[in-house]
Structure 1
Amino acid sequence: MKLLLVCNAGMSTGIMQVKLTQSANARGMATEVLAVPLVELDDHIDTATAILLGPQIRFALNDVQKKAPDGVPVLVISPPDFGTMNAEKVLNDVMAAVAK
């Protein structure tokens, strides 16, 4: 599975990237988490299994949903989950969205 974590290229997104990778590894999931700034989304969108938007760019949700390939869920990480780096909850949300 390839998760695309889209942000404004902040340090906190890098921390979330590491936490998501650790959570996926702990579950035995073969997962790549790639953090990219919004301006580079088009370079990576076609290979994503799911797309996660940091709460600071939730304004881009509709545009990203239009660009996403069919069947690729686009989720906004909630401010509380992002603020506490709750990667377990975020990964659960991703798994539920991918299963739909």
Structure 2
Amino acid sequence: MKKIVLLCAAGMSTSLLVTRMLDAAKKQELEYDIHAYSINSAKDSIVGADLVLLGPQVRYKLSEIKKLAGDIPVEVIDMVAYGMIDGEKIIKEIAKKI
């Protein structure tokens, strides 16, 4: 099972997106453990992650989170997919990366 961590401003705005991503992963028979957290809890929440995704609203923290993550890949979620809460599109992108 791959651990995917989503970071956003408060950890709340991505909760619906996480649900849609989990549904899309299940349809594609992918085993992903996906959770959303506040960017302020990044240090603890990314431990053991296979991929870290940033919400577009915190993209300005990308370099900081990349340093914190070390070898863990860090990406910014596509703004349109995030805004449309398109879990399927994001899961397709994730599958290409991990």
What TM-score results when the alignment is normalised by the length of structure 2? 0.90
Q: Is 1:35 matched with 2:36?
A: yes
- Asked if structure 1 preserves the Cα contact closer than 8 Å seen for 2:12 and 2:36, the reply is no
Match of residue 67 from structure 2: 66
The residue identity in structure 2 corresponding to 1:26 is K
Runs of 4+ in 1 over 4 A off after TM superposition: none
The residue identity in structure 1 corresponding to 2:21 is L
SS of structure 2 residue aligned to 1:56:
helix
Paired residues in the alignment total: 97
**Runs of 5+ unmatched residues, structure 2:** none
Q: Is 1:50 matched with 2:39?
A: no
**Runs of 5+ unmatched residues, structure 1:** none
The residue identity in structure 2 corresponding to 1:90 is I
Percent identity between matched residues is: 31
- Asked if structure 2 preserves the Cα contact closer than 8 Å seen for 1:8 and 1:37, the reply is yes
**Larger relative helix fraction:** 1
RMSD: 1.3
Match of residue 87 from structure 1: 87
